[in-house]
A and B are shown apart, each in its own frame.
Chain A
Amino acid sequence: MNAARQSDATPLLRSSATRLAALYTVIMLIGVSTLLVSVYYANQEALRRESELMVLAESQAMRDEFLFNGIDKLTHMLQQRADDWGRIGAVYLLMDSNGKRLAGNLSGWPVDAKASSDGLEFTLEAREGDQEVDHPARGHVLRLGNYRLLIGTDVSERRRMLQQMRRATLWGIGLTTLLTALAAWLYSRRIAARVSSVVAACANIMSGDLSRRLPASGSHDEFDSLASTVNTMLERLEHQASVLRTTFGSAAHDLRTPLQRIRIRLETGLQSDSPPAVRAALAEALADIERVQRTLATLLQIAHAESGAGDQHLQRLDLAALAQELVELYVPVARERSIALTLEATGEPAMRGNRQLLAQLVVNLLENTLKYVPAGGHVAVRALRRGDRAVLEVADDGPGIPAERHAEALLPFRRLSDSADGSSGGLGLSLVSAVVRMHQGSLGLHDNAPGLRVCCEFPAVD
């Protein structure tokens, strides 16, 4: 038996490991993004405040200079500071009421000066190598009597820094996400692989190979502990199965040997010159022994099929060919009882199976239906391929079984109507059910309106 038949690999999106991995990735993404984005904004704010504080401190110093020492001293101080300021990117411009430049490192009042909520925004023209470039700047305008003093800073450096930081943040988020997703994918693949090996091993074992055990990785993780628990369970099952098999074996021996002796005595009695009445009784007893024998054989056959021991005799077979042989075998019997027995075979319903057990399944279904269908009835046997299933159906137009008793009909020794002979009719469907189970198939009883339709489906092979 292989596991693929039992369950194909779980679709990726339905796997719980994949879902867990995806959740993990999303949580990591949210965490890392929050961290990096807040670092970015904190930096941005810090830089802004730094330049603002500088401008503010300078403004305070200028105002004090002007108030205490007058415009000339201020002009002088500004000229002295020009070199330092240029280096740190500070700009200033002192103008009188006529718009005349008194001091500063700007040649004139910026043309695009725009007042914003916290100061003035404007553009500086600067030389970088041979090129004229615009640098964004921000500043304050200070009114000192009739004079105007513009104090500002070149913010281009700050912007560039923030831009780099933004890029680093995005890369950080992207890479983290990628690595997390990769790790999560590998993790889920590993989990999926281990789970599917457990599933495959279990499927194998379920189909009757009780001697197999789940593999342990040796890492003593939760999978190993699961495997060891399942293995303990399997050991117990295997033990029970072997006890059961031995018990059945000895039961068969212990029942059949005395049956054989009874038979011998009856046969010896029949050979002697006993009175006719005695001979008749002996013959009836012999017929009863045969019935017991048949029931015993069916019981043992059910136990045998249920134990999965029949797996050793699996071969590829065509259900349609088997059905045809058996229908052919039963047509004369059906005709004797005025029942029309027909076969409809379509496609090639091939499967792996135990030929003898499947033949017995078909025979039991046929005998069952022939027993209940009245003269003039019709029994249709169908063998067909339905998708990946090889299907065998036996449908009749007899009295049928009420839907609520369908499950009951499959239990051993349930006789749903009075069958003519006291033979092993009570076991026929139980054996069918055991054989279907042994072949990983499914068995369904359906209302054929009127009548009963028994449908056996098996995994098909090509």
Chain B
Amino acid sequence: MRILLAEDDIEIATHVSKGLRDAGYEVVHEADGEAALAAAGAGQFDLLIIDRMLPHKDGLAIIAALRAAGSATPVLVLSALGTVDHRVEGLKAGGDDYLVKPFALAELLARVEALLRRGGSGSAAAGKMLLRVGDLELDRMSRKVVRAGKPIMLTAREFKLLEYLMLHPDQVVTRTMLLEHVWDLHFDPQTNLIDVHISRLRQEIDRDFGRPLLHTVRGAGYMIGERA
């Protein structure tokens, strides 16, 4: 998997590049806006990570130019501009996800993985009506959840939460990703809201069954999957 990283701060770029390489990705780094646009147009990339404020060419302008040229490569926007409206602008300009600085490396990696799986082989999950993780099944049509043949009753929001987790099996899903996609909230509340909702969901799907499926990933978020 090849990733283009367009970031003008060398220390941040070095750290992010190292983190991505450690996670097994191939990384090309550009520090200049024009150079980043040229590289994105020329090379085959699976994902673009573009800072919003780049020298010589604004990050959103790069995305607009790429989209106009017909590129569908997923883009993760990095930005120091963090109000909710800035996020909306970034997504409207053609970004697929928006991450505000300062971010944790774990947050970046989780989002990169989510974007890559969505764009590649993982997209199969997005179109599927029946999601399955181990013996847990979620039917998106009839909105029913069954584990080991036993029906599980969930509220509408719990269903949405589980659905999002199951759309990303064996991937780390962060708290902010859940807030954004399950509750459509693009800011961080102070309270440990997500932890409380996850523990309630865990009660429903894991408590009466031997093997837990919903795991906490320390310092990152949550993951649903068969491996512990």
Chain A residues near B (Cβ < 8 Å):
249, 252-253, 255-257, 259-264, 267-268, 289, 293-294, 297, 300-301, 304, 309-310, 312-313, 325, 328-330, 332-333, 336, 354-357, 359-360, 363, 367, 370, 421, 423-424
Cβ contacts under 8 Å, A301 to chain B: 83-84, 187
> What are 11 A-B interface contacts by the 8 Å CB criterion?
A263-B103, A294-B190, A297-B83, A300-B83, A301-B83, A309-B85, A329-B197, A333-B192, A333-B196, A363-B189, A367-B190
Cβ contacts under 8 Å, B193 to chain A: 329-330, 332-333
Cβ contacts under 8 Å, A332 to chain B: 193, 196-197, 200
A333 to B193, CA, bound (A): 6
The 10 closest A-B pairs by CB, nearest first: A356-B84, A260-B102, A256-B80, A253-B80, A259-B102, A304-B83, A264-B15, A256-B101, A332-B196, A263-B102
Encoded as 1 (CB less than 8 Å from any A CB) or 0, chain B from 1 to 26 comes to 00000000101100100000000000
The answer to whether B190 and A423 touch across the interface, beta carbons within 8 angstroms, is yes
The answer to whether B196 and A256 touch across the interface, beta carbons within 8 angstroms, is no
Query: In the assembled complex, how far is the CB of residue B194 from the closest CB belonging to chain A, in whole angstroms?
Result: 9
Report B46-87 residues with CB < 8 Å from chain A CB: 53, 80-85
A355 to B85, CA, bound (A): 10
Report B172-222 residues with CB < 8 Å from chain A CB: 183-193, 196-197, 200
B124 close to A (CB within 8 Å): no
Query: In the assembled complex, how far is the CB of residue B23 from the closest CB belonging to chain A, in whole angstroms?
Result: 13
The answer to whether A310 and B85 touch across the interface, beta carbons within 8 angstroms, is yes
A413 to B155, CA, bound (A): 38
The answer to whether A293 and B186 touch across the interface, beta carbons within 8 angstroms, is no
Query: In the assembled complex, how far is the CB of residue B78 from the closest CB belonging to chain A, in whole angstroms?
Result: 9
The answer to whether A356 and B187 touch across the interface, beta carbons within 8 angstroms, is yes
The answer to whether A300 and B82 touch across the interface, beta carbons within 8 angstroms, is yes
Cβ contacts under 8 Å, A304 to chain B: 83, 85
B104 close to A (CB within 8 Å): yes
The answer to whether B101 and A313 touch across the interface, beta carbons within 8 angstroms, is no
B227 close to A (CB within 8 Å): no
B81's nearest neighbour on chain A, judged by CB, is A252
Cβ contacts under 8 Å, A289 to chain B: 102
The answer to whether B186 and A356 touch across the interface, beta carbons within 8 angstroms, is yes
- Size category, B interface: 20 to 34
B78's nearest neighbour on chain A, judged by CB, is A260
B38 close to A (CB within 8 Å): no
A424 to B184, CA, bound (A): 22
The answer to whether B80 and A257 touch across the interface, beta carbons within 8 angstroms, is yes
B88 close to A (CB within 8 Å): yes
The answer to whether B187 and A267 touch across the interface, beta carbons within 8 angstroms, is no
The answer to whether A313 and B85 touch across the interface, beta carbons within 8 angstroms, is yes
Query: In the assembled complex, how far is the CB of residue B106 from the closest CB belonging to chain A, in whole angstroms?
Result: 8
A370's nearest neighbour on chain B, judged by CB, is B191
Query: In the assembled complex, how far is the CB of residue A369 from the closest CB belonging to chain B, in whole angstroms?
Result: 12
The answer to whether A328 and B157 touch across the interface, beta carbons within 8 angstroms, is yes
B154 close to A (CB within 8 Å): no
Cβ contacts under 8 Å, A330 to chain B: 191, 193
Cβ contacts under 8 Å, B196 to chain A: 332-333, 336
A336's nearest neighbour on chain B, judged by CB, is B196
The answer to whether B190 and A267 touch across the interface, beta carbons within 8 angstroms, is no
Query: In the assembled complex, how far is the CB of residue A237 from the closest CB belonging to chain B, in whole angstroms?
Result: 21
A259 to B155, CA, bound (A): 39
B153 close to A (CB within 8 Å): no
A401 to B210, CA, bound (A): 50
A424 to B100, CA, bound (A): 18
Other contacts beyond A263-B104, A297-B188: 10, CB < 8 A: A253-B80, A263-B103, A264-B105, A267-B15, A268-B15, A328-B157, A329-B197, A332-B193, A332-B200, A355-B184
The answer to whether A260 and B183 touch across the interface, beta carbons within 8 angstroms, is no
Given contacts A260-B101, A336-B196, contact A249 B81 (CB under 8 A): yes
A313 to B89, CA, bound (A): 10
A297 to B102, CA, bound (A): 11
Cβ contacts under 8 Å, B104 to chain A: 263, 267
